Amino acid sequence: MISIDVFRQIELRVGEILIAERVSGSDRLLKLTVDLGGERRSIVGGLGQSYTPEELQGLQVVVVANLAPARIKGIESVGMLLGVGCEEAKAVALLTVNRRIPNGTLVV
């Protein structure tokens, strides 16, 4: 359990996936360029077995925007997409927005 004060420290924002491409040497990892409303970030995610790059382009997704950067396969990843993993189906489903809103909008 975490306190509400700890939860409030997590910054969730809406971002639009502008570019999605496979990471060389991995069938699982995709490098995404995400627009967070005036700021573009690279985010690496293990989505390659559930989505093609073409399926992701243009999607508005929920991003953990204040996560410390990490290096994945030599690529700096600044943020994390929220999704649901299903072991039985061996798939990931991203949390998306059901109506177009400005990129960078805070999720409340």
Mean pLDDT of successive 10-residue segments in the chain (108 residues)?
95 98 95 97 95 97 97 97 82 93 96
The parent domain of residue 16 ranges over 11-94
**CATH (domain of 18):** 2.40.50.140
pLDDT at 86: 76
Q: Is residue 103 one of the residues assigned to a domain?
A: no
Q: Is residue 57 one of the residues assigned to a domain?
A: yes
Instruction: Give whole-number Cα distances, 77 to 18, 68, 97, in Å.
Output: 15, 9, 22
pTM (2 d.p.)? 0.92
Q: Which residues contact 52 (CB under 8 A, 6 or more apart)?
A: none
DSSP 105: P
Instruction: Give whole-number Cα distances, 74 to 21, 46, 77, in Å.
Output: 15, 15, 9
pLDDT at 28: 93
Q: Is residue 47 one of the residues assigned to a domain?
A: yes
pLDDT at 89: 64
Per the CB < 8 A criterion, the answer to whether 44 and 72 are in contact is: yes
C-alpha span between 19 and 17 (Å, rounded): 6
State the total domains in the chain: 1
